[in-house]
Amino acid sequence: MVPDTKIKLFKFISEECGVEISELSDDTTLLWDLGLDGDDAVEFFENFSEQFDVDLSEFEIYKYFGPEWYPPHVLLLLPLYIGLYFIRHYLFGKVNRKLGFIPITIADLLMAAKTKKWQKLE
């Protein structure tokens, strides 16, 4: 039987990120699998903290997510980046994830929800 906290967490993530619960697993990452980043990540964690009464005083969002803004040259090259992303993702598997961000999984969120405190990830 699945614990009640896990069910609530999966429903919360489904509503916040606009995905079906069936698409989620303990290993699902917020940044890479769900595309959560920037201001959306900030809002997600504010709502997560409120919904599950989690202390995020130790949470340093810049370690896990990028900023909302993009430099002007990125916008000019965006079509190229998107094309390369799909080529690498669909032809060669997962995109290279070595951008320096620490991935947060649903299992990490579940641990925080159970302990009521964010555990630093390395």
Q: Any idea what the CATH number is for the domain that residue 57 is in?
A: 1.10.1200.10
Number of domains within the chain = 1
Share the mean pLDDT of the chain: 82
The verdict on residue 76 lying in a domain is: no
Question: Does 40 fall in a domain?
Answer: yes
Is residue 63 in some structural domain?
yes
Q: Considering the domain boundaries, does residue 88 fall inside one?
A: no
Only one residue has tokens 């997560």, namely: 48
Tell whether 44 is covered by a domain. Answer: yes
- Residue pair 31/38 in contact by the 8 Å Cβ criterion: no
> 74, 81 in Cβ contact below 8 A?
yes
Q: 93 in a domain, yes or no?
A: no
Asked if the structure places residue 90 within a domain, the reply is no
Q: What percent of the chain lies above the pLDDT cut of 70?
A: 73
How distant is the alpha carbon of residue 72 from its chain centre? 25
Domain around 56: 4-67+98-115
Query: Tens digits of per-residue pLDDT, 57-106?
Result: 999 988 888 776 655 565 666 676 667 666 655 554 444 444 568 899 99
The model's pTM: 0.74
pLDDT of residue 99: 55
In percent, the amount of the chain with pLDDT more than 90 equals 52
The secondary structure of residue 2, as a DSSP letter, is -
Give the model's pLDDT for residue 86. 64
Q: What is the pLDDT of residue 122?
A: 73
- CA end-to-end distance (rounded Å), the chain: 30
pLDDT at residue 70 in the model: 57
Specify if 122 maps to a domain: no
Tell the residue number behind the tokens 């799909």, with chain if given: 86
In a 13 Å sphere around the CA of 28, the CA atoms on its Cβ side amount to 21
